[in-house]
Amino acid sequence: MAALPFSAKSTPSKFVSSFIHSNHIRRNSRPFFITTTTCSRSRARRQLRVKNVETDEKDVATHTQQGSLATIPPDSSFIASNIKYHAEFTPSFSIESFALPKAFYATAESVRDMLIVNWNATYEYHDRLNVKQAYYLSMEFLQGRALLNAIGNLELSGAYAHALKTLGHNLEDVARQEPDAALGNGGLGRLASCFLDSLATQNYPAWGYGLRYKYGLFKQHITKDGQEEVAENWLEMGNPWEIPRNDVSYPVKFYGEVVSGLDGKKTWIGGENVMAVAYDVPIPGYKTKTTINLRLWSTKVAPEEFDLHAFNTGDHAKAYAALKNAEKICYILYPGDESMEGKSLRLKQQYTLCSASLQDIVARFERRSGESVKWEEFPEKVAVQMNDTHPTLCIPELIRILMDVKGLSWTEAWDITRRTVAYTNHTVLPEALEKWSLQLIQELLPRHVEIIKTIDEELIHTIIAEYGTEDLNLLEQKLREMRILDNIDLPDSVIGILCKSEESSAVDHVEEVDFSDEEAKTTDEVGQSKGLDTNTKNEVTFEPDPKLPKTVRMANLCIAGGHAVNGVAEIHSEIVKNEVFNDFYKLWPEKFQNKTNGVTPRRWIRFCNPGLSKIITKWIGTDDWVRNTDMLVTLRKFADNEDLQSEWREAKRINKIKVASFLKEKTGYLVNPDAMFDVQVKRIHEYKRQLLNILGIIYRYKEMKEMSPEERKAKFVPRVCIFGGKAFATYIQAKRIVKFITDVGATVNNDRDIGDLLKVVFVPDYNVSVAEVLIPGSELSQHISTAGMEASGTSNMKFAMNGCVQIGTLDGANVEIREEVGEDNFFLFGAHAHEIAGLRKERSEGKFVPDPRFEEVKAYVRTGVFGPYNYDELMGSLEGNEGYGRADYFLVGKDFPSYLDCQDKVDEAYRDQKRWTRKSILNTAGSYKFSSDRTIHEYARDIWKIEPVVLQ
């Protein structure tokens, strides 16, 4: 039998996990029980003792070896005993008290016992069957709190609530003690976590791979100066969900040099060596035994790297330099890359993820293969999905392992890699399509540069085969757009192809080529291309421009090195095919697919919105919709039912009261739960246009101030406008937007003339747990990015699932959401994606005429009504006719009048609560399409070619 990833030693007792799930649980014969002597409640002391009693150890051992899973769940009395066991025997806190923090850790460790049984059985079963497995590599996994999700998936919420009640605690209070895992930032990481939930729920054999960040991104504080960043402390008290796997580690190398042996085999020697150590986190499925794994890597060096001599001579910094250099790789998510050191650290992070994960994947393949390893079957057993371009180095790293370590030829390794790896694109923003300095990669990963150059050469030959050499202008254009190595000399094999033997042909080509600096051409003093001899044999070379950087284009490498490329919404996938990577699409149309994102309905409605979930179950007649969201469409036929509408509104109001209480706790602001709750929560970025939202609020406020109290009440629906999100620490303009929103809020919220008609609240440190509070209580959500710039979005799906009506542009998944919920139930405004380029051109030519209201609101800001801070830079970004970031690149001014008019329609609709509730119900009904279960099924069917494996 294959070794299990988590042995019995992982649990607090060798009987615990078997007992929990044993099919032979007998009420009169328990393996152990725990007695509790309770001291004075005022002292909150528990004295916990464990007593062993008679146990059929043979029976228990048999079921442990077989990985048997129970059909009989543990009762609350056993759960309470198990929690108390952990409080004494696996303590993270002193024994004197059983306060909430200790209760959380003991409860989490109790849940982990149960997960480990299913986890080991899942691993063993997949291993024994040797099924094809998918591996999802991502720099982010935004997990959120795990406790309520885990016990919900195990269908033990009631049992745990009752058990904790007997111990003097409330389950919700205990769950709030858990910090959010700081392993992600926004939609990219949350998508990855939703995918893991769906993979487990649908019984797909799959693992996730990521990095175990010590401090994550940052904890956001909001002060009078705006956003301030401090280190996240999520690991300060330990992580009860993870299992350190000190026996699973792999070497990761940086720098050094590449040498060739007599047989031509390449060896990468010297340099800096670190070790990547595995930490495993169980991911349970919903109403299934399947529990998959998220493996996170942490970095360290061997003890011998500690310079004991330097330490004893007093040079302490030198002594532990190597240790700190290794550890810092996993300190921070997305370290600032303004400096060369920051860029180097980011690249080290990406390579660590790729190298450690692929070494692990290869080792698992070899172990499963036994004595006969057939490398040509590797793509039949392994699928590797790169979540955006961060794991691009998977491609040269897999080739390196196969060639340099396993002895395969280039042809074999290249073929295996291309059939194994696939790429998900998440952006159309040019600055987000990663480009790395060739010099930096050359220094850090010299062997990989050799491999990338070979891949680039293969790609160039493919392009030449497709387009020929007759039209050098066309060929030069295709190479400029498609090459992996940008502004790099052509390889010798290509130069040979381009050599011309006839003088007339050479002259014709020379005359046809545009030798502008922009196209990286140089000419000699007689106007002929350098490197061409027009007398006899003529060589055509496209020389690099010395003034431009030499870079490696990671997205191009992903497309060339993998077998599938997918966008994440229908409109995004079309933009990818027709604009961003059109040349690649023409070359390999079969590679390109759409996989519209989805979110898990377990976390994003079943667990975070139990009141609404009960209503849905009641009216549909079953709770099967939690695993089959297609059933949500049944709600459409009840959308006008007055009883349903009444229940629906009551559930929403209860959630709004929770939001109001939360806002008071986090910000100090009091808001009226009877006002409309208008929410925009997402990463702060100019293209997401929080600036458009706050300018619209300012115009609303200005109008209010110019009216009498009676006029205000007659025209405006009361609103609470809620913002949340983090601006990247070095993104100055985004941080200005945060400061601007908080300044507007400070003015508006303290204006007695306005009162409850308008409130503006910025929620600090937005994360998954905050979203789980805000989304169920929201009524209008804003997804207002410049059309064509948001790949998909997933928060729009979460809002729709919770019956929130949306205002937005035709961008990302908004397009599909609007189709599903109905045009009348989505507030649409703004320019369309195909118009954006023309509108920017119009702006650059000085033809844009701003709406008077837009000019009015900017002037109002400049009066200083929102405080002394100088917002000239922010307002200036919306003016002028040229320059990225200036000249209103994101078309806030263009869409402003359409946005204001649309908001008037929102007010009108909200006044009719019956009409609004109908829209809300139809949004939930229309969200059926946006379950990550559906998305994962499409990945499994179309890209990974894997099948579900249900444990027997």
Residues annotated as catalytic are: 426, 682-683, 688, 794, 798
* CB-CB contact of 60 with 18 (8 Å): yes
The single residue listed with the structure tokens 């923090």 is 101
* CB-CB contact of 178 with 146 (8 Å): yes
Write the DSSP assignment of 433-461 as a string of letters: S-EEEHHHHHHH-HHHHHHHHHHHHHHHH
Element (H, E) at 257: strand 257-260
Amino acid letter, residue 826: F
Amino acid letter, residue 709: P
Residues 6+ apart with CB under 8 A from 859: none
Element (H, E) at 665: helix 642-667
759: number of CA atoms within 13 Å, CB side?
A: 25
What SS3 class is residue 849? coil
Phi, psi of 380 (to 5 degrees): -85, -10
- For Cα atoms 278, 282, 285, give the angle at the middle one, nearest 5 degrees: 150
Q: Decide: residue 356, CB within 10 A, 0-12 exposed, 13-18 middle, 19+ buried.
A: buried
What SS3 class is residue 95? coil
Question: Beta partners for 208?
Answer: 136, 294
Amino acid letter, residue 924: T
User: What are the structure tokens assigned to 840, written together?
Assistant: 């920017």
What SS3 class is residue 223? strand
> In which region does residue 868 sit, left (phi positive, over 0), alpha (psi from -120 to 50) or beta (all else)?
alpha
> Using CA atoms, how far apart are residues 605 and 799, in angstroms rounded to an integer?
9
- Considering only CA atoms, give the Rg of the chain: 30
> Using CA atoms, how far apart are residues 427 and 425, in angstroms rounded to an integer?
6
Q: How many CB atoms lie within 10 A of CB 303?
A: 8
62-94 burial: b if 16+ Cβ within 10 Å, else e? ebbeebebbeeebebebbbbbbbbbbbebebbe
Amino acid letter, residue 835: E
Element (H, E) at 79: helix 76-89
Eight-class DSSP state of 155: T
Phi, psi of 245 (to 5 degrees): -110, 75
* CB-CB contact of 355 with 384 (8 Å): no
DSSP β-ladder status, 435-437 and 551-553: antiparallel
Q: How many CB atoms lie within 10 A of CB 935?
A: 22
User: What are the structure tokens assigned to 69, written together?
Assistant: 């899973």
104: number of CA atoms within 13 Å, CB side?
A: 19
Eight-class DSSP state of 218: -
* CB-CB contact of 932 with 598 (8 Å): yes
* CB-CB contact of 764 with 789 (8 Å): no
User: What are the structure tokens assigned to 219, written together?
Assistant: 């904890």
Residues 6+ apart with CB under 8 A from 794: 187, 190, 191, 194, 597, 598, 599, 813
> Using CA atoms, how far apart are residues 882 and 876, in angstroms rounded to an integer?
12
Q: Decide: residue 912, CB within 10 A, 0-12 exposed, 13-18 middle, 19+ buried.
A: exposed
